[in-house]
Amino acid sequence: MRSFTYERAASPAEAAKAVATTQGAKFIAGGTNLIDLMKLEIETPTHLVDVQDLGLDQVEDTEDGGLRIGTFVSNTALSAHPRVREDYAVLTRAIQAGASGQLRNKATTGGNLLQRTRCAYFYDTNMPCNKRKPGDGCAAIDGFSRQLGVIGTSDSCIATYPGDMAVAMRALDAVVETVKPDGTARAIPAADFHRLWGDTPHIETALEPGEIITHVRLPAPVGGQHFYHKVRDRRSYAYALVSVAAVIQPDGTGRVAFGGVAPKPWRSEAADAQLPNGAAAVVRTAFADARPTEQNAFKIPLAERTLAGILADAQTGTRS
């Protein structure tokens, strides 16, 4: 770990400005990902702006019947919130499928959206990685890629966004609210929040330098049955091979987002439209441009089978 300086910000705009104007600065909230990466010198910030004094830790009802989630609401609190449990159960289930109780107590809503990939080569600083060191090459593409991405990847990087919460938020059409260093606010739809890697896999989100997440807004509830099925090698404390967040309406329509397969929660409106035609039709559409490796090609049939199980459970009213 490299040495760094540290400050605590008093307002979102001030925090944004501090990070934007200090070379090598980063925000720190729960620290469940950043600190680990600093110990391994994968992240080497020279300055940390601690945002824990900013408040922003409430879940509020919005006028349109939705929710506005403060960025520092912990994963535990968000998953346990009565309105979330009642109206956005896919989100509760996704959050509780992730990490461990201790980590969820510490992890924040905004921080979780920024969780970095778990690619083994990203984690080993002896190995080439374009995400860690732009232009370095990618050891994963021809290597141990079983966990890695099958779609939305590039010749530079095949890492995945590893989280669960964001997959449910994508299915719910959440909107990420931010403040930029100049103090202006903006709203970024979940669909646009995470970027595809392209030639710049070190740039992972739509956030500009210094831009800070303040809230995540959920639109009014959409009803339906809510499912989050996270398939993994062991029953807890493991990243998804494939996860499926789905909201299924009584008429068979709905929405579905896939986790563990791409640089971002993977959803398309065209694939959603295939839901009444069954899992195969959805997955055929959603994964039409997939470029899996030999080791992770199974993720596509797994996605189909996982969704098929959800659709069967939806018909019988069994929660996945």
Partner 1 sequence: MEFNAPAGENLFDRSKIVGKSTPRIDGPLKVSGRAPYAAERHDVAANQAYGWIVGAGIAKGRIRSMDLDDARRAPGVIAIVAATEHEPVASSDFNYAPLFGGREVSHYHQAIAVVVAETFEQARAAAGLIRTSYANGDGSFDLAKVAPGAPLASDRPSDSAEIGDFESAFAAAPVKLDERYTTPDEAHAMMEPFATIAAWDGPKLTVWTSNQMIEWSRQALGSILKMDADNIRVDSPYIGGGFGGKLFVRSDAVMAALGAKAAKRPVKIAMQRPLMFNNATHRHATRQRLRIGAERDGRIVAIGHENWSGNITGEAGENATLQTPKLYAGANRLIANHVAQLDLPEGNAMRAPGELPGHLALEVAMDELAEKLGMDPVELRIVNDAQGMVPGEPDTKISDRNLTRCLREGAERFGWSKRPARPASARQGRWLTGMGVAAGYRAAPTMKSGARVRMTDRGQLIVETDMTDIGTGSYTILAQTAAETMGLPLSTVRVELGDSGYPVSAGSGGQWGAASSTAGVYAACVALRRMIGEKLGFDADAATFDGGQATLDGESWAIGDAGALTAEDSMTFGEFKKDYDVGTYAGHFAEVKVDAYTGETYITRMLAVCDAGRILNPLSARSQVIGGMVMAAGAALTEDLHVDKRFGFFANHDLAGYEVPVHADIPHQECVFLDTLDPVSTPLKAKGVGELGICGPGAAVANAIYNATGIRVRDYPLTLDKYLDRLPAIA
- Say how many CA atoms lie within 13 Å of 314 toward its Cβ: 27
> Could you give the CA distance from residue 303 to residue 164 in angstroms, rounded to a whole number?
15
Structure tokens at 46: 């020279």
The correct pick among 6, 39, 184, 270 for binding partner 1 (CB under 8 A) is 39
> Could you give the CA distance from residue 113 to residue 105 in angstroms, rounded to a whole number?
15
Is residue 112 within the footprint of partner 1 (CB under 8 A)? no
C-beta of residue 248 within 8 angstroms of C-beta of residue 101: no
Ranges within 198-257 binding partner 1 (CB under 8 A): 229, 231, 233-239, 241
Is residue 306 within the footprint of partner 1 (CB under 8 A)? yes
Is residue 286 within the footprint of partner 1 (CB under 8 A)? no
- Scanning 61-69, 82-90, 172-180, 307-315 for contacts with partner 1 by CB under 8 A, the matching segment is 307-315
- Scanning 62-70, 113-121, 198-206, 208-216 for contacts with partner 1 by CB under 8 A, the matching segment is 113-121
Structure tokens at 276: 């009444």
3-state helix, strand, coil in the chain (%, to 5): 30, 20, 50
The correct pick among 76, 105, 278, 285 for binding partner 1 (CB under 8 A) is 278
> Could you give the CA distance from residue 235 to residue 249 in angstroms, rounded to a whole number?
28
The correct pick among 139, 171, 174, 188 for binding partner 1 (CB under 8 A) is 139
- Scanning 63-71, 142-150, 152-160, 284-292 for contacts with partner 1 by CB under 8 A, the matching segment is 142-150
Q: Which residues does 239 contact at the CB level (< 8 Å), separation at least 6?
A: 118, 147, 162, 232, 260
Question: Which residues lie near partner 1 (CB under 8 A)?
Answer: 1-3, 39-41, 118, 120-121, 123-124, 126-127, 139, 142-144, 146, 229, 231, 233-239, 241, 278-279, 298, 301-302, 304-306, 308-309, 312-313, 316, 318
